[in-house]
């Protein structure tokens, strides 16, 4: 594939991610942080996020399975997840987390479970999207091109 | 009692109904029908409500009343019962005794009478037997007479001995009769005897009778026949005492006066008793008869009869009952009256012979009724030994006691009856009992009535209170609901606008992308620009709504930070002057010199206030001016004139003193309480506001004129926000009357003055330097204000408003001096005004004057090429005076280039306000000094940039600019950078949002695009939007877009220094992702970062500096972070960290706890390490919590690059400086 085409594809894809609300401005900031010193910074942070979120989601699942649900603990977990997701700009995950925390405050176990499911889904979704994105980037790099600059500035 | 209650209830209901009727009918009929209907409805509604509640209350009341009534009734009855019944009982028993006693006595008397009668009879019989026997055989008449004489003497003796005897009769078997009779009425005593001659001695009859008792009846009949036929009786009165015969015997008819007991009365030879009635007395007599047997006891020789009058019994009874007016009577068993206590006749005279009366026929009514009652109660046949004791029998009109006793005499059973009126015994008692009852009942009725009234009053009060309470509760409920709904509304608005902003940001961003695309046609570009404008307007509206709802929900928390009020306002005026250019409106800032330089407060909000006001003014001012005036109301004013210079100096040295203020930070916090009242006026010459709307324009969605929306747009939210903010800052805003057209808004704010009163004066004195300033400016107001201010500060000024005036003054000034002027086509001779002349004269007296000529570029004729000629003309004076060119924002580049080419280095953009002038004059003075020292010309170049950007420095961000006035000879780039920063800030503030720079970028997009390539000025404005990207310092490969190239290119630091170079930052964050991101961000800015996983580690790291290295080794994520050059030196220099970034929620020890611990450990050491909170909580209360525990600043996640940088910079500068 031609490099230019791939770049355009990458741009379109990124834009769609933004428009569909998977990502927000924070992701752009991440990209801006990536430089020669940290060539794989975005990938590193994102994979860190997914490791972290995987662990957190597991914890959450276990915590919600308990008979007497410790909402304080769940709230703390969700809060952490919210912080990290907002840091990588995974907007939809973040929004889910906000809803989750609200239900946590209400101590609504059913809604929490639903939310957990949703968060998991969103995580999965954004993970797939980002993987696709990174694959595209790798292809571009492999083809000798450079990653185009996103000028979406949310 | 019950009936009265019901009557009461009914009465109340009835009264209520009538009152309802009355009040419903009392509505005036004449009023309008509609109103009446409404009233009626309301009334009906109210009355049904009232009725239902009334019923419930009514039932309760009724119950209480009934209970009270029952209680009191019981009490009454019991009282009455106990008092009455016991007295009655005891009285009754007493009365019974009395009656018994009373009755006993006549009966005893009766008994006595009977006894005595029987005794006499027996005595007579015994004596008669003796006499008859002693006389043996009566053969002769003489014997017989003798015996009769003896009998008479014996009988008399007996008769005389008993006064009560009525008579004693002796009848012999031969028919002879001897009798004594006592007439009680006449008190006469008679002896009655029969004619002796008619009797024969021989009595065959006796024999017969002796022989055959069984044929006694025939014998008797023979006796009676004898008596009736042949006997002649005589009656001879006797002396009642002696028995002497005192009168002649009179012949009387047999049985005429007395009844002689005959054989018939003793048929079986035993004593007989009977009650007889005599013709002569009206009372019944008790007669007893006893036969006298002969010696052989075989035949009856005589019959003795004794009669006793019962009169005495009646007398006794009368006496007895006289006392109590009762009645007594005795009857035989058959019911014949024997004796009564009355005078009523006992005999029935109507029949011959008179007979005894029955008791029921008695003439005395009481006795008759009593007898009837008795007969009714016990029947005709009076049972033996039956006694009746009845109390309370109604006889006639009165009540009586009736008691009967039975006296069982042989052959003569008697019944005694006593009738005593009840009144006599129980009269008082009954009366009293009745009275007591009446009194008790009336008293209890009174008590019940009073109790009811009390209950009514009490329950009325209670029910009223309850009603009020219920009303209050419902009101509270309603209020709570209303508040809640209002809250929901605000919440909803806030959420909505917040949610809407995100897509809006996307739209604007995408539009920007689209606009930067080159392949758009002009039309498309115009359309997109239009869309862009609309989106921005929409976004502004959303922000306004968000602001309002924030204020309404009370969530707006004002920042409390120090800021330079003057600088903010200058920036504001700068910005608006750009807008005004199209309108030919002059924007003037006129702040008095005594305004405090530094105040504490929310700078963004203050700027928002004035931005809204000025925006409004400009919107409604087609031509003229908009002035923002400000002055300081000192609570204890000192003389202005004396302080004037001092104040002026203060104004200029503020920047230097600020450094000192930081050192005194802790000291000042205690003194910071003083609030200053700052007055502001926004004065315009627009269309004005109708006085009736002066108050309402501050309401939300209110506009002075409905047509304004059509003409000028806007929502009417601006002034509402302004008022809310002003009120929040402890001030007030109002529209005040103004002379001439336009509006004058006056407001005051209460802000903390931050500056020390004892500021040092370190400024270059602009006075007394022989400065002469010629202001050739277009705007009248701005020029006169500036000139006035300069003159107040001891600077000589002249004014010119147009080209011709300028040339004239120039000529006058310099031609008179040099007296060699070349006449040019431009200088037209005008008559010089006298005032100007005198001024010129006074100028000439100044020694070594320095002329400063500020020329408005608008004075030149730019429409044609004449301006070049004009420049040439002015160029002649270049050596004589310092020219300052006041440029417009849209001044074309060619003019600028031309100016530069000609060597005019000092340019300043409009508007020209104090700070700029001060700056210019300082530079002029400095330059003169430089010139005096024969500096070479190269330095001019350096100065150029300073002058060009002196405005920037004045309106710069306070943190960065502090070095600028002190080191004016710093690098060009730096100034540019500051300029960018300031513009970014100002714009940001105006929009009211700090985090979305993309919105800010756009409003000026158009003009920046117009001048993009040829105007460095506008270029710099453009770059303002991404000033911080400069610090990335990375010149990465071309990313396609020109915009970014510019940014990156400019952003490269001139000295290669990163913004946070050399700072050591401790990052406490548990989430690895954020930790990583923040680390990279900080490192990009040049800081070295140590990351720790929780609060405990952070505290340890700070407390135990020696352990820093261990921590680094421990934390697996931080290998790359330990890039700092020399840990050793850090350890030695305490503290080794310049700043801590602290996540709030962490395991083991959260950020708040950690901060508290750190602050605690700092106590005493005098160290204050800045701690910045990192939190995902975006509420302002979290911020308050953060600041409360001792953190210095607050950053929300996701971390904003620029915000973080500026925050860190402001904090570290503070401490390091």
**Amino acid B409: pLDDT:** 66
What residues of B are in contact with residue A86 (Cβ under 8 Å)? 1176, 1197-1198
User: Cβ of B535 under 8 Å from any chain A Cβ?
Assistant: no
At residue B882, does pLDDT exceed 60?
yes
**Amino acid B648: pLDDT:** 41
- Nearest-CA residue of chain B relative to A79? B1176
CB contact under 8 A, A79 and B1070: no
If pLDDT is split at 50, 70 and 90, which confidence band does B1113 have?
A: very low
Phi, psi (5° rounding) for residue B387? -115, 145
**Amino acid B185: pLDDT:** 67
CB contact under 8 A, B1032 and A153: no
At residue A3, does pLDDT exceed 70?
yes
What residues of A are in contact with residue B1041 (Cβ under 8 Å)? 149, 151
User: B576-627 pLDDT, tens per residue?
Assistant: 777 666 667 888 888 887 777 788 888 888 888 888 888 888 888 888 888 8
**Amino acid B471: pLDDT:** 92
* pLDDT (mean) for B1195-1200: 72
User: Cβ of A79 under 8 Å from any chain B Cβ?
Assistant: yes
Say which residue, B989 or B447, is predicted with more confidence.
B447
**Amino acid A31: pLDDT:** 79
CB contact under 8 A, B1071 and A89: no
If pLDDT is split at 50, 70 and 90, which confidence band does B34 have?
A: very low
Strand order in the sheet with B907-909: B796-800, B771-776, B850-856, B881-887, B907-909
User: Cβ of B671 under 8 Å from any chain A Cβ?
Assistant: no
**Amino acid B635: pLDDT:** 53
CB contact under 8 A, B1143 and A83: yes
CB contact under 8 A, B1041 and A151: yes
**Amino acid B987: pLDDT:** 43
At residue A51, does pLDDT exceed 70?
yes
Helix (H) or strand (E) holding B347: strand B347-348
Closest CA to B575 of B227, B983, B14, B270: B983
* pLDDT (mean) for B626-633: 85
**Amino acid B899: pLDDT:** 79
Give the 3-state secondary structure of residue B204. Answer: helix
**Amino acid B833: pLDDT:** 59
What residues of B are in contact with residue A83 (Cβ under 8 Å)? 1071, 1074, 1143, 1145, 1176, 1197
Cα–Cα distance, B421 to B251 (Å, whole number): 51
User: Cβ of A52 under 8 Å from any chain B Cβ?
Assistant: yes
* pLDDT (mean) for A78-104: 85
Say which residue, B1064 or A149, is predicted with more confidence.
B1064
Percentage of chain B modeled with pLDDT above 90: 1
By mean pLDDT, which of B145-159, B169-183, B347-361, B982-996 is the weakest?
B982-996
User: Cβ of A49 under 8 Å from any chain B Cβ?
Assistant: yes
Say which residue, A15 or B479, is predicted with more confidence.
B479
Helix (H) or strand (E) holding B676: strand B675-684
What residues of A are in contact with residue B1036 (Cβ under 8 Å)? 35
**Amino acid B239: pLDDT:** 77
**Amino acid B383: pLDDT:** 56
- Nearest-CA residue of chain A relative to B1070? A80
Cα–Cα distance, B614 to B276 (Å, whole number): 148
Of B516, B1032, B1080, the CB nearest to A41: B1080
**Amino acid B225: pLDDT:** 40
Q: What is the largest CA-CA distance in chain B?
A: 229
User: Cβ of A44 under 8 Å from any chain B Cβ?
Assistant: yes
User: Cβ of B1076 under 8 Å from any chain A Cβ?
Assistant: yes
Give the 3-state secondary structure of residue A113. Answer: helix
Report the gap between the CA of A154 and the closest CA in chain B (Å): 6
* pLDDT (mean) for B725-742: 84
What residues of A are in contact with residue B1080 (Cβ under 8 Å)? 33, 38, 41, 45
At residue B478, does pLDDT exceed 90?
yes
CB contact under 8 A, A33 and B1084: yes
- Nearest-CA residue of chain B relative to A81? B1071
What residues of A are in contact with residue B1200 (Cβ under 8 Å)? 29
CB contact under 8 A, B1077 and A30: yes
Cα–Cα distance, A145 to A135 (Å, whole number): 14
Beta carbons within 8 Å of B522's beta carbon, 6+ residues apart: none
Of A19, A35, A48, the CB nearest to B1072: A48
Cα–Cα distance, B972 to B293 (Å, whole number): 189
**Amino acid B474: pLDDT:** 93
- Nearest-CA residue of chain A relative to B1030? A32
If pLDDT is split at 50, 70 and 90, which confidence band does B264 have?
A: low
User: B201-253 pLDDT, tens per residue?
Assistant: 444 333 333 333 333 344 444 444 444 445 677 778 877 777 777 777 777 76
By mean pLDDT, which of B444-458, B714-728, B997-1011, B1100-1114 is the weakest?
B997-1011
Q: Which long-range contacts (CB under 8 A, 24 or more apart) does B818-824 make?
A: B818/B880, B822/B876, B824/B873
CB contact under 8 A, B1201 and A148: no
- Nearest-CA residue of chain B relative to A149? B1039
**Amino acid B475: pLDDT:** 93
Give the 3-state secondary structure of residue B1144. Answer: coil
User: Cβ of A50 under 8 Å from any chain B Cβ?
Assistant: no
Cα–Cα distance, B475 to A125 (Å, whole number): 52
Of A37, A51, A154, the CB nearest to B505: A154
Closest CA to B172 of B11, B19, B300: B300
Of B505, B1034, B1040, the CB nearest to A35: B1034
Give the 3-state secondary structure of residue B114. Answer: helix
Mutate to test the interface with B, among A14, A101, A149, A150 (most CBs of B within 10 A): A149
Query: What pTM value is reported for the model?
Result: 0.38
**Amino acid A87: pLDDT:** 82
* pLDDT (mean) for B735-743: 83
User: B78-106 pLDDT, tens per residue?
Assistant: 888 887 788 778 877 887 888 778 777 87
**Amino acid B1201: pLDDT:** 73
At residue B829, does pLDDT exceed 70?
no
Could you tell me what percentage of chain A is helix, strand and coil, using 3-state DSSP and rounding each to the nearest 5?
75, 0, 20
DSSP classification of residue B257: S
Percentage of chain B modeled with pLDDT above 70: 63
Of A37, A76, A83, the CB nearest to B1074: A83
User: Cβ of A32 under 8 Å from any chain B Cβ?
Assistant: yes
Average pLDDT along chain A: 82
A vs B: CB pairs below 8 A: 98
At residue B932, does pLDDT exceed 90?
no
CB contact under 8 A, A87 and B1029: no
At residue B73, does pLDDT exceed 70?
yes
* pLDDT (mean) for B132-143: 73
User: B308-327 pLDDT, tens per residue?
Assistant: 777 777 777 788 777 777 78
User: Cβ of A98 under 8 Å from any chain B Cβ?
Assistant: no
Instruction: Provide the residue count of chain A.
Output: 154
Name B284's bridge partners. B277
If pLDDT is split at 50, 70 and 90, which confidence band does B711 have?
A: low
Average pLDDT along chain B: 69
Distances (CA, A) of B670 to A22, B665, B667, B754: 49, 9, 6, 11
User: Cβ of B993 under 8 Å from any chain A Cβ?
Assistant: no
Range 1145-1204 of B in CB contact (< 8 A) with A: 1145, 1176, 1197-1201
At residue B860, does pLDDT exceed 80?
no
Of B505, B1070, B1176, the CB nearest to A86: B1176
Tokens 């007996």, residue located: B158
CB contact under 8 A, B516 and A30: no
At residue B857, does pLDDT exceed 50?
yes
CB contact under 8 A, A151 and B1043: yes
Say which residue, B1171 or B643, is predicted with more confidence.
B1171
What residues of B are in contact with residue A101 (Cβ under 8 Å)? none
Strand order in the sheet with B1088-1092: B1088-1092, B1064-1068, B1139-1143, B1171-1175, B1193-1196
User: Cβ of A66 under 8 Å from any chain B Cβ?
Assistant: no
């Amino acid at each position: 594939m031609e490099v230019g085409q791939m770049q355009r594809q990458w741009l379109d894809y990124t834009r769609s991610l933004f428009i569909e609300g998977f990502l927000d401005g924070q992701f752009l900031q991440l990209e801006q942080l990536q430089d020669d010193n940290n060539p794989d910074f975005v990938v590193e942070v994102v994979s860190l996020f997914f490791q972290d979120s995987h662990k957190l989601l597991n914890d959450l699942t276990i915590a919600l399975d308990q008979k007497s649900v410790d909402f304080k603990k769940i709230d703390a977990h969700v809060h952490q997840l919210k912080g990290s997701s907002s840091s990588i700009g995974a907007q939809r995950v973040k929004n889910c987390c906000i809803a989750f925390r609200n239900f946590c405050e209400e101590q609504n176990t059913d809604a929490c479970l639903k939310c957990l499911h949703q968060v998991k889904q969103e995580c999965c979704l954004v993970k797939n999207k980002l993987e696709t994105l990174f694959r595209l980037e790798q292809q571009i790099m492999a083809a000798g091109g450079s990653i185009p600059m996103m000028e979406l500035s949310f | 009692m019950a009936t009265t209650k019901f009557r009461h209830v009914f009465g109340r209901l009835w009264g209520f109904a009538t009152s309802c009727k009355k009040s419903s009918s009392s509505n005036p009929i004449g009023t309008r029908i509609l109103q009446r209907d409404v009233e009626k409805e309301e009334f009906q509604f109210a009355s049904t409500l009232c009725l239902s509640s009334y019923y419930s209350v009514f039932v309760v009341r009724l119950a209480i009343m009934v209970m009270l009534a029952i209680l009191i009734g019981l009490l009454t009855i019991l009282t009455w019962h106990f008092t009455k019944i016991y007295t009655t009982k005891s009285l009754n028993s007493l009365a019974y005794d009395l009656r018994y006693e009373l009755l006993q006595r006549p009966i005893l008397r009766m008994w006595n009478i009977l006894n005595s009668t029987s005794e006499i009879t027996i005595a007579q019989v015994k004596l008669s037997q003796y006499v008859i026997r002693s006389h043996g055989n009566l053969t002769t008449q003489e014997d017989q007479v003798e015996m009769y004489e003896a009998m008479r003497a014996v009988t008399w003796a007996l008769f005389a001995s008993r006064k009560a005897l009525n008579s004693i009769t002796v009848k012999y078997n031969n028919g002879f009769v001897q009798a004594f009779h006592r007439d009680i009425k006449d008190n006469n005593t008679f002896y009655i005897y029969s004619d002796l001659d008619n009797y024969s001695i021989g009595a065959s009859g006796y024999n017969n009778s002796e022989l055959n008792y069984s044929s006694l009846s025939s014998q008797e009949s023979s006796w009676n026949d004898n008596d009736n036929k042949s006997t002649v009786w005589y009656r001879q009165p006797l002396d009642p005492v002696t028995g002497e015969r005192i009168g002649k015997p009179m012949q009387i008819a047999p049985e005429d006066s007395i009844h002689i007991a005959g054989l018939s009365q003793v048929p079986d030879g035993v004593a007989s008793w009977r009650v007889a009635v005599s013709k002569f007395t009206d009372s019944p007599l008790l007669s007893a008869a006893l036969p006298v047997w002969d010696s052989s006891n075989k035949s009856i020789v005589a019959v003795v009869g004794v009669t006793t009058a019962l009169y005495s019994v009646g007398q006794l009874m009368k006496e007895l009952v006289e006392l109590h007016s009762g009645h007594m009577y005795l009857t035989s068993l058959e019911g014949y009256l024997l004796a009564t206590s009355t005078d009523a006749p006992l005999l029935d005279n109507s029949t011959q012979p008179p007979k005894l009366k029955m008791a029921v026929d008695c003439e005395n009514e009481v006795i008759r009724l009593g007898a009837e009652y008795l007969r009714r109660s016990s029947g005709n046949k009076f049972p033996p030994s039956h006694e009746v004791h009845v109390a309370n029998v109604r006889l006639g009109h009165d009540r009586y006691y009736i008691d009967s006793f039975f006296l069982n005499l042989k052959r003569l059973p008697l019944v005694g009856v006593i009738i005593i009126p009840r009144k006599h015994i129980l009269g008082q008692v009954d009366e009293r009992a009745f009275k007591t009852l009446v009194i008790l009942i009336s008293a209890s009725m009174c008590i019940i009535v009073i109790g009811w009234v009390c209950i009514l009053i009490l329950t009325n009060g209670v029910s009223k209170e309850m009603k009020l309470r219920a009303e209050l509760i419902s009101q509270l409920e309603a209020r709570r609901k209303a508040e809640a709904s209002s809250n929901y509304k605000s919440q909803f608005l806030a959420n909505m606008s917040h949610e809407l902003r995100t897509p809006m940001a996307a739209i604007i961003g995408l539009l920007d992308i689209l606009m930067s695309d080159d392949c758009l046609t002009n039309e498309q570009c115009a359309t997109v620009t239009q869309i862009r404008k609309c989106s921005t307007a929409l976004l502004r509206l959303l922000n306004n709504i968000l602001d309002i709802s924030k204020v309404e929900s009370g969530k707006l928390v004002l920042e409390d930070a120090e800021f330079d009020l003057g600088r903010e306002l200058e920036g504001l005026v700068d910005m608006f002057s750009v807008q005004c250019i199209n309108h030919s409106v002059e924007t003037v800032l006129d702040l008095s010199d005594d305004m405090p330089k530094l105040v504490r407060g929310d700078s963004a909000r203050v700027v928002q206030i004035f931005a809204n006001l000025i925006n409004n003014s400009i919107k409604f001012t087609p031509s003229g001016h908009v002035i923002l005036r400000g002055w300081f109301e000192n609570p204890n004013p000192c003389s202005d004139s004396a302080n004037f210079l001092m104040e002026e100096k203060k104004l200029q040295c503020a920047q230097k003193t600020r450094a000192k203020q930081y050192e005194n930070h802790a000291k000042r916090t205690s003194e910071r309480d003083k609030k200053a009242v700052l007055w502001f006026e926004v004065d315009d010459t627009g269309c004005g506001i109708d006085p009736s709307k002066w108050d309402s324009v501050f309401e939300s969605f209110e506009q002075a004129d409905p047509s304004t929306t059509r003409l000028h747009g806007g929502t009417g939210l601006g002034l509402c926000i302004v008022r809310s903010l002003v009120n929040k800052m402890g001030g007030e805003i109002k529209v005040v009357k103004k002379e001439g057209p336009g509006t004058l808004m006056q407001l005051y704010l209460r802000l903390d003055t931050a500056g020390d009163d004892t500021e040092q004066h370190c400024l270059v004195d602009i006075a007394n330097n022989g400065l002469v300033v010629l202001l050739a400016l277009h705007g009248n107001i701005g020029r006169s204000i500036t000139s006035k201010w300069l003159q107040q500060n001891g600077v000589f000024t002249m004014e010119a408003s147009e080209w011709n005036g300028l040339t004239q003054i120039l000529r006058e000034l310099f031609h008179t001096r040099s007296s060699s002027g070349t006449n040019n086509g431009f200088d037209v001779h005008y008559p010089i005004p006298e005032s100007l002349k005198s001024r010129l004269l006074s100028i000439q007296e100044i020694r070594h004057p320095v002329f400063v000529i500020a020329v408005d570029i608008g004075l030149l004729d730019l429409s044609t090429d004449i301006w070049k000629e004009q420049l040439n003309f002015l160029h002649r004076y270049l050596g004589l005076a310092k020219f300052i060119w006041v440029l417009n924002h849209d001044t074309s580049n060619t003019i600028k280039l031309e100016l530069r080419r000609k060597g005019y280095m000092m340019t300043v953009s409009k508007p020209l306000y104090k700070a700029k002038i001060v700056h210019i004059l300082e530079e002029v003075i400095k330059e003169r000094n430089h010139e005096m020292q024969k500096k070479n010309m190269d330095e001019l170049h350096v100065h150029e940039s300073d002058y060009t950007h002196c405005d920037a420095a004045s309106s710069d961000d306070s943190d960065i600019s502090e070095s600028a006035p002190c080191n004016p000879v710093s690098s060009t780039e730096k100034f540019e950078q500051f300029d960018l920063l300031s513009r970014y800030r100002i714009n940001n503030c105006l929009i009211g949002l700090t985090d979305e720079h993309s919105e800010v970028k756009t409003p000026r997009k158009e003009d920046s695009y117009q001048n993009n390539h040829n105007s460095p000025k506008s270029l710099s404005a453009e770059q303002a939007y991404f000033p911080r990207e400069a610090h990335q310092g990375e010149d990465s490969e071309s990313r396609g877009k020109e915009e970014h190239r510019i940014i990156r290119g400019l952003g490269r630091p001139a000295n290669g220094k990163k913004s946070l170079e050399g700072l050591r930052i401790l990052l406490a964050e548990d989430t690895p992702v954020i930790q990583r991101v923040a680390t990279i961000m900080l490192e990009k800015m040049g800081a070295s970062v140590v990351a720790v996983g929780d609060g405990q580690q952070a505290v340890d790291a700070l407390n135990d500096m020696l352990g820093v290295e261990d921590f680094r080794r421990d934390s697996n994520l931080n290998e790359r972070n330990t890039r700092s050059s020399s840990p050793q030196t850090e350890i030695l220099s305490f503290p080794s960290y310049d700043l801590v970034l602290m996540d709030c929620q962490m395991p083991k020890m959260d950020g708040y706890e950690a901060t508290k611990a750190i602050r605690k450990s700092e106590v005493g050491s005098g160290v204050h390490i800045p701690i910045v909170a990192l939190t995902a909580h975006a509420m302002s209360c979290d911020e308050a919590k953060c600041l409360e525990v001792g953190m210095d600043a607050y950053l929300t996640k996701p971390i904003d690059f620029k915000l973080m940088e500026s925050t860190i910079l402001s904090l570290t500068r503070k401490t390091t400086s």
